[in-house]
């Protein structure tokens, strides 16, 4: 395949690093006009913050809208900016542009500066600016305020009040917050963009990006330029925003292929290089928002995709949850607690529990979307949020395709690990199954995989969940697992539109069709990995494909901290309630049980029972779930081998004999960790 580019790389690509302005005031508000959504603000439960920009629209000039959505008219709703450091005695000031006349009907918007101490407690506030009924569209200021003693952070706060029922809102943009040692410098500061972007592509030798859903997205760049040497230029610094931009034809202009933060900037020197200003080789490594999410603690586990909004809205990471970028709270039941977990861990757990999708997009936005919005799943075929964006044929990739028949993708034995809160308030893991496709195991052998979900489901739900996984994974198939294509056309490869055949601007989770007539293959897939490898002469894109049906790829979860034993009190020996005809062997060997140091123990001999349950064990004396949802114990049965099973059936803990003689059974070998 010919790989010669029909364009200059610098005409279609930018590598931009963002930094605050070098002169004048710095705007501390990272999202002043709603670019990529309503992220970067904290909103109380009764309010809602929305943006007229989508998660795929990063351009300046957007508008934020703050709404009062609670029922009681007396409720005051608030939203605040992120916390920014301030020194006691220093001054803070701010401003914003109201874009439409304020609403009437007894609605007032208040704007003020708030100061907090190291414990996060409010210790001071500036005088409020009051924007009342029918206020004119204009620029308004936050009254100047001085940080009191003990201050460590400053916030902008908006408060919305009303005296009548019904939704009320104010729309605004160009929010500005600045600090200074003098009051005059920040008294009614004029708006400035928080970042100035500098293109550093021209001297680059190579750029590579690599992204997968909820994996750490990485950009690496090698740039030969003494002017960008971190030793003498502060542009290349850890924490600086960086984005790789490609020009999109079809009227959309520049769009990102990667958006993240610089993690490392290193320089090596070649004094013998003939061009003096190229003797420094700068190597930049950057990561996307998955890094921020992986390093932000989050103990709570939930089931609903909408609950991800609660976990992410205070991280400063842009988000799109179920097709919406609105910044508001979402209710959901707490199902597990893990102090070792991160926001990224919990997003993955919720995704897998809901059998849905989540990824950090090329726009640097965490996108989590429920299966009801995805085409090709549960017979859904008309979701406008999930169009087919590309069809790849042999003409696109020629021989640069991985077509395989790989039994390593085979899963015919499913275990489901439920992470849940027990009655004593501690969190544990119980693994249920195995759920087996017997025909597949007979033909291919056993290939097992464990899938983790939040909470405990009933046996029918677990069996259905496992069955849906086995439908897709129990039979290996030949498919195109990845393709690589060169970027050669200055127009078609860069086109982005509602019905376009996307190439350069493909994103994770995009729905595509991959055809290989030579191998008789034509199938829909989700984009599961994208790698760009770029030099001045050549640009290659490698695209890998994953599940279309919502089956999660198992992701290891952070282990639950090892804590104290369950807070269950010790008990004396108690006679075991026998059923099914079972009775005590004699008065000296009555079957009994007790709880001691968090363990349940048994003793005594039962005899003459029928097939089926031997005893229904009272609540508080059942076991923690094990790999097979029940415990098996070798016992002596009429002086021969026997096996007793203890497990949950319809919410009741049952003890029964599954192997061996029912003439008599010795229970002294039955002991397990108390769980329920």
Residue 274 and residue 313 share a domain: no
pLDDT attached to residue 566: 44
- Compute the distance between CA of residue 201 and CA of residue 525 in angstroms, rounded to an integer: 33
- 422-433 pLDDT, tens digit per residue, is 777 788 888 888
- 609 is in which domain, residue-wise? 574-673
In a domain, 565, yes or no: no
3-state secondary structure 395-452: HHHCCCEEEEECHHHCCCEEEEEEEEECCCCCEEEEEEEEEECHHHHHHHCCCEEEEE
| Largest distance between two CA atoms of the chain | 100
Of residues 178 and 548, more confidence is placed in: 178
Pick the closest to residue 532 from 1, 12, 59, 19 (CA basis): 12
Q: Are 532 and 245 in contact (CB under 8 A)?
A: no
- The pLDDT tens digits of the residues spanning 587-637 come to 989 999 998 877 889 999 999 988 778 998 887 788 765 444 577 888 888
Q: What is the pLDDT of residue 643?
A: 86
Buried/exposed 431-446: b ≥16 CB within 10 Å, e otherwise: bbbbbbbeebbeeeee
Which residue from 409, 382, 375, 384 is spatially nearest to 549, judged by alpha carbons? 375
Question: Strand 319-321 to strand 366-369: parallel, antiparallel, or no bridges (unpaired)?
Answer: parallel
**In this structure, what CATH number is given to the domain that contains residue 483?**
2.30.300.10
Whether the pLDDT of residue 330 is over 80: the answer is no
Q: What is the Rg, in whole angstroms, of the alpha carbon atoms belonging to the chain?
A: 31
**E strand or H helix that includes residue 309:** helix 308-312
Asked if residue 561 is part of any domain, the answer here is: no
Q: Concatenate the DSSP letters of all residues of 62-104 into one string.
A: --EEEEE--S-TT--EEEEEPPEE--TT-EEEEEEEE-SPPP-
The H or E element containing residue 605 is strand 605-607
Check pLDDT > 50 for residue 540.
yes
16-33 burial, b at 16+ Cβ within 10 Å, e below that, comes to bbbbbeeeebbbbbbbbb
119 by Cβ neighbours in 10 Å (0-12 / 13-18 / 19+) ranks as exposed
Whether 634 is covered by a domain: the verdict is yes
Helices (H) and strands (E) in the chain, counts: 7, 44
459: in domain: yes
Among the ranges 1-10, 416-425, 528-537, 632-641, which has the highest mean pLDDT value? 528-537
In a domain, 652, yes or no: yes
**Same domain? 282 vs 316:** no
* Collapsed DSSP state (helix, strand, coil) of residue 1: coil
> Could you tell me which of 566, 661, 662, 672 has the C-alpha nearest to residue 617?
672
Assess whether 439 and 453 both reside in one domain. Answer: yes
For the chain, give the mean pLDDT.
84
From 62, 92, 100, select the one nearest 189 (Cα to Cα).
92
Same structural domain, 540 and 583: no
pLDDT at 616: 86
Report CA dihedral (3, 5, 10, 16) to the nearest 10 degrees: -40
Length of the chain: 676
334 and 421 Cβ atoms separated by less than 8 Å: yes
Report pLDDT for 200.
Answer: 95
The 3-state secondary structure of 451-487 reads EEEECCCCHHHHHHHHHHHHHHHCCCCEEEEEEEEEC
Identify the pLDDT of residue 565. 41
To which H or E segment does residue 289 belong?
Answer: helix 289-294
Which of 472, 487, 407, 482 shows the shortest CA–CA distance to 445? 407
Distance, in Å, from the CA atom of 393 to the CA atom of 69, rounded to the nearest integer, reads: 49
My answer on whether 96 and 134 are in the same domain is yes
Q: What is the pLDDT of residue 64?
A: 87
Rounded distance between C-alpha atoms, residue 223 and residue 10, angstroms = 14
CB 127 within 8 A of CB 112: yes
Residue 2 has pLDDT above 60, yes or no: no
Give the best-scoring range by mean pLDDT among 71-85, 189-203, 501-515: 189-203
Give the residue from 138, 154, 186 where a domain finishes: 186
pLDDT of residue 177: 95
Give the 3-state DSSP-derived string for 334-379, with helices as H, strands as E and coil as C.
Answer: CCEECCCCEHHHHHHHHHHHHCCEEEECCCCCEEEECHHHCCCCCC
Which pLDDT belongs to residue 1? Answer: 43
Residue 180: which H helix or E strand, with range?
A: strand 168-180
Both 461 and 437 in a single domain?
yes
Residue 553 lies in a domain: no
| pLDDT at residue number 74 | 59
What pLDDT, on a 0 to 100 scale, did the predictor assign at position 628?
Answer: 46
Contact between 354 and 247 (Cβ < 8 Å): no
3-state secondary structure of 541: strand
Of the pLDDT bands very low, low, confident and very high (cuts 50, 70, 90), residue 449 is: confident
Does a structural domain hold residue 55?
A: yes
**CATH number of the domain to which 173 belongs:** 2.60.120.200
Instruction: Give yes or no for a contact between 172 and 63, defined as CB atoms under 8 angstroms apart.
Output: yes
Neighbours of 118 (CB within 10 A): 9
Half-sphere exposure of 103 (CA within 13 A, CB side): 21
The predicted structure's pLDDT at residue 627: 42
How would you classify the pairing of strands 300-301 and 630-637? unpaired
Find, among 603, 617, 611, 621, the residue nearest to 582 by Cα: 611
- The predicted pLDDT at position 166 comes to 62
Q: Check whether residue 531 and residue 394 sit in a common domain.
A: yes
- Statement to judge: residues 396 and 509 lie in one domain: yes
Residues 397 and 429 both lie in one domain: no
The pLDDT value recorded for residue 102 is 65
Instruction: Please count the structural domains in the chain.
Output: 6
Q: Which residues in 224-262 are b (16+ Cβ under 10 Å) and which e?
A: bbbebbbeeeebbeeebbbbbbbbbbeebeebbbbbbbb
Cα(140)–Cα(314) distance, integer angstroms: 26
Q: Are 424 and 617 in contact (CB under 8 A)?
A: no
> What CATH number is associated with residue 659?
2.60.40
Number of Cβ within a 10 Å radius of residue 586: 10
Best CA proximity match to 368, nearest among 304, 294, 291? 304
User: What distance in Å separates the CA atoms of residue 240 and residue 261, rounded to the nearest whole number?
Assistant: 5
In a domain, 646, yes or no: yes
Q: How far apart are CA 566 and CA 662, in angstroms?
A: 34
Dist. CA 160–CA 170, nearest whole Å? 9
**Does the pLDDT value for residue 185 go beyond 90?**
yes
CA distance from start to end of the chain: 64
DSSP string covering 98-166? E-SPPP-SSEEEEEEEEEE-TTS-EEEEPPPEEE-TTPPSSEEEEEEEEPPTT--EEEEEEEEEESSSS
β-strand partners of 428:
420
* pLDDT tens digits, one per residue of 26-63: 999 999 998 888 888 888 766 788 888 888 877 777 88
Q: Is the pLDDT of residue 203 over 90?
A: yes
What does the pLDDT look like over 215-228, one tens digit per residue?
999 999 999 999 99
pLDDT score at 620: 74
Tens of pLDDT along 348-378? 999 999 888 899 999 999 999 888 887 666 5
Tokens of 660: 């061996």
Residue 62: φ, ψ to 5°: -75, -175
Q: For residue 462, is pLDDT > 50?
A: yes
The reply to whether 268 and 347 lie within a common domain is no
Do 392 and 537 lie in one domain? The reply is yes
Domain boundary among 155, 186, 217: 186
Question: Is the pTM above the cut of 0.85?
Answer: no
Q: At which of 145, 160, 186 does a domain end? A: 186
Strand order across the 448-454 sheet? 427-436, 413-421, 448-454
Share of the chain above pLDDT 70, in %: 88
Is residue 66 located within the same domain as residue 169?
A: yes
Q: Does the pLDDT value for residue 122 go beyond 90?
A: yes
């Amino acid at each position: 395949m010919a790989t010669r580019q029909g364009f200059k790389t610098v005409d279609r690509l930018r590598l931009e690093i963002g930094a605050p302005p070098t002169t004048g005031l710095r705007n501390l508000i990272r999202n002043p006009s709603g670019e990529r959504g309503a992220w970067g603000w904290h909103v109380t439960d009764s309010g809602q913050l929305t943006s007229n920009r989508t998660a795929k629209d990063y351009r300046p000039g957007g508008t934020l809208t703050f709404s009062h959505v609670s029922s009681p008219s007396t409720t005051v709703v608030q939203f605040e900016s992120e916390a920014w450091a301030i020194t006691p005695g220093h001054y803070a000031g701010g401003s914003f542009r109201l874009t439409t006349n304020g609403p009437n009907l007894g609605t007032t918007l208040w704007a003020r500066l708030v100061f907090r101490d190291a414990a996060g407690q409010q210790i001071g506030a500036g005088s409020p600016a009051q924007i009342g009924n029918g206020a004119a569209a204009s620029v308004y200021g936050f009254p100047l305020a001085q940080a009191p003693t003990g201050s460590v952070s400053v916030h902008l706060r908006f408060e919305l009040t009303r005296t009548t029922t019904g939704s009320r809102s104010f729309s605004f943009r160009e929010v500005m917050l600045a600090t200074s040692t003098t009051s005059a410098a920040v008294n009614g500061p004029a708006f400035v963009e928080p970042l100035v972007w500098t293109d550093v592509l021209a001297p680059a030798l190579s750029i590579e990006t690599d992204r997968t859903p909820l994996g750490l997205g990485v950009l690496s760049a090698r740039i030969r330029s003494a002017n960008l040497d971190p030793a003498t230029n502060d542009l290349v610094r850890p924490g600086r925003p960086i984005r790789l931009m490609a020009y999109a034809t079809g009227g959309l202009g520049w769009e990102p292929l990667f958006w993240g933060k610089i993690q490392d900037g290193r320089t090596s020197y070649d004094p013998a290089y003939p061009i003096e200003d190229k003797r420094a080789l700068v190597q930049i490594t950057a990561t996307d928002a998955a890094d921020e999410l992986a390093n932000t603690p989050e103990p709570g586990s939930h089931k609903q995709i909408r609950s991800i909004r609660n976990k992410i809205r205070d991280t400063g990471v842009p988000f799109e949850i179920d097709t919406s970028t609105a910044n508001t709270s979402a209710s959901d039941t707490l199902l597990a607690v893990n102090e070792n977990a991160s926001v990224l861990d919990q997003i993955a757990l919720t995704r897998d529990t809901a059998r849905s999708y989540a990824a950090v997009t090329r726009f640097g936005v965490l996108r989590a979307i429920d299966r009801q919005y995805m085409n090709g799943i549960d017979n859904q075929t008309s979701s406008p949020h999930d169009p087919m964006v590309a069809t790849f044929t042999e003409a696109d990739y020629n021989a640069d395709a991985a077509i395989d028949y790989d039994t390593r993708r085979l899963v015919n034995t499913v275990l489901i690990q439920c992470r849940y809160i027990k009655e004593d308030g501690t969190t544990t893991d119980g693994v249920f199954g195995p759920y087996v496709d017997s025909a597949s195991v007979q033909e291919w052998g056993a290939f097992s995989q464990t899938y983790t979900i939040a909470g405990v489901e009933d046996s029918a739900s677990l069996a259905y969940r496992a069955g849906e996984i086995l439908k897709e994974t129990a039979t290996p198939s030949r498919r195109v697992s990845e393709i690589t294509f060169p970027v050669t056309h200055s127009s078609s490869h860069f086109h982005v539109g509602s019905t376009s055949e996307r190439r350069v601007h493909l994103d994770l989770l995009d729905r595509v069709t991959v055809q290989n007539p030579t191998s008789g293959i034509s199938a829909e897939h989700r984009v599961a990995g994208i790698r760009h490898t770029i030099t001045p002469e050549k640009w290659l894109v490698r695209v890998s494909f994953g599940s279309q049906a919502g089956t999660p790829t198992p992701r290891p979860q952070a282990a639950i901290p090892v804590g104290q034993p369950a807070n269950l009190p010790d008990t004396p020996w108690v006679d075991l309630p026998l059923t099914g005809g079972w009775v005590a062997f004699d008065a000296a060997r009555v079957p009994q049980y007790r709880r001691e140091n968090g363990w349940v123990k048994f003793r005594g001999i039962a005899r003459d029972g029928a097939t089926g349950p031997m005893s229904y064990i009272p609540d508080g004396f059942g076991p923690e779930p094990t790999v097979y949802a029940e415990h098996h114990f070798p016992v002596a049965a009429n002086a021969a081998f026997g096996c007793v099973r203890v497990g949950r059936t319809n919410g009741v803990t049952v003890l029964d004999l599954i192997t061996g003689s029912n003439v008599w059974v010795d229970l002294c070998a039955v002991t397990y960790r108390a769980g329920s």
